[in-house]
Amino acid sequence: MAIASPSTPSFSASFCCARSKSPPFSRFSSVSFAHRVVQPHPLAPRLAVSSRLNSSKPSGPGGSVSPDNGDLHQYELYHKFSPQLRRRGPPVFVTLPVDTVGPAGKLRRPKAMSQSFRALVAAGVEGVVMEVWWGLVEREEPRVYDWQGYLELVALARRSGLKVRAVMAFHVCGTGPGDPYWIPLPLWVLEEIDKDPDLAYSDRFGRRNMEYISLGCDILPVLRGRSPIQAYTDFMRNFRETFRPFLGVIITGIQVGLGPAGELRYPSCPSQKLQWAWRSRELGEFQCYDKYMLASLNACARKIGMREWGNGGPIGAGNLMQNPEHTEFFRSGDGSWNTPYGNFFLEWYSGLLLLHGERICREAETIFRGTQVNTSAKVAGIHWHYGTQSHPSELTAGYYNTLNRDGYLLIARMFGRYGFSMCCTCFEMRDTEEKQMNPDSSPEGFLRQLLLAARVCDIPLEGENSAAGLDDDSFQQVLKMSKLYSNGLEKPSFSFNFMRMDKNMFEYQNWVRFTRFVRQMSDANIFGSKLGSGGDINLSSMLDATKDGLTFAYS
């Protein structure tokens, strides 16, 4: 039952979040856990790995040059784009289609994908982002992993001369079985959720969200004797052993999923709605009503002698579509978010999310230590109430970020403790456009705060667009916000993930704009300049690489 917000003297509830009291983290500290020894996938030893392509192979028939025949250097010169130019400025990666690896675990459309990779190389793209779905790899039984399709994909990237960033995707993709891009949690996990529905998040109305396992049971053995954290750890450890020959050579980055859509957040509203929720100003719902979350809240409230605060989330949070100024909890000035009770609840709620991120980041750092890969994690771009005092949609997602409290600095510090980069979205969005539909929205304000947190904590940044906008204005906005982070830093560490590759990307005008954008990002001398300046690359040569196969690659 939801409870009211009684008045009481102020205090801090941060100790209720069961934070670790261990000494400051060291990159060389050791964390040991018992794990079953897993042998690498049998295909892995057969895939020759080298930081350079095999130059002993002759060029193709008629002396043609392509990355598939081993002479990447000649291929790049042919397309007027040298590897030195690619490395001068922030590198650009392209996220692959969701269904690149199909439900059976096989690489789909390998010939068309090869053509796509050749075009990306010609454009000067550094690499691709490969989402590795828990629901595909460990689909049938616990600790039974099928990496076949991903091994083929990494081998294809190696032959093409592209780097790979792998996303450990522990969440659901799509809206349901009718969605062509539907990828559920592993079937054996769904069986456990059927037995115990409280493994899924729940809101005050009892609605379950199946996108990600509730962090309330992070360390409980609810998955056939393992905790969710142990299951994620075993998955990453098996990935490391299977792909070990590629790590630091072809696979240069690992992004660790921490929640719905891979982001460190609660599923305050379904992920598919986040692309347009700002249009309707949705507040979101607190996800604290499964029995595991309620048990934590109740214990925390009892510990401070306020039992009545531990029975559920705040009342007066309004309806999803309600104006926050018409709610008791979120309204400006005297809203209960800004009371001792509000501070207690929001510190507990956001503190558990931070603790969840810390647990997984600690495990990932231990697993990938010494592999020469960069690790990163993602923060959601929830900006549609950024112009209000209480930031309600951020609060329900687990970001305790308000007019008088910086919630992102704590997240950036947590990432920094484990050597993680921070990935954030909204780089292409502009306030002038968003405010026409929602005056409270401010993607640029949100992003500036996040960029400042990354700079203060001295952590690398990965930018990302929230929608596949291929217009010049969107690309120019990405350049502007990218420079905002890098400006004044002696050694800025920034890269950009373009979301995502599809058939529209290879249409002539879109391709022209995209390749020009990659050129401007990659060339340090014109980085941040306006689109259209700095000269053009040989676009006709690049487009030649896309003629065969790409028109039907994504149909």
- For residue 258, what are its two tokens? 């921490």
Pick the catalytic residue from 152, 263, 282, 462: 263
Q: Give percent helix, percent strand, percent coil of the chain, each to the nearest 5.
A: 40, 10, 45
* Cα separation, 273 vs 48, whole angstroms: 43
- For residue 30, what are its two tokens? 């050791």
Q: Residue 7 corresponds to which amino acid?
A: S
Element (H, E) at 200: strand 200-202
For 131, the 3-state DSSP assignment is strand
Q: For the packed helices 228-242 and 340-368, what is the interaxial angle rounded to 10 degrees?
A: 30
- For residue 275, what are its two tokens? 């692309």
> Among this protein's residues, is 263 annotated catalytic?
yes
Q: What pairing do the DSSP bridges indicate for beta strands 163-169 and 200-202?
A: unpaired
- For residue 190, what are its two tokens? 């769904």
CB atoms within 10 A of CB 191: 11
* Cα separation, 14 vs 21, whole angstroms: 13
Locus of tokens 């780097």: 163
* Cα separation, 396 vs 398, whole angstroms: 5
* Cα separation, 53 vs 343, whole angstroms: 56
Question: Which residues form the catalytic set?
Answer: 263, 464
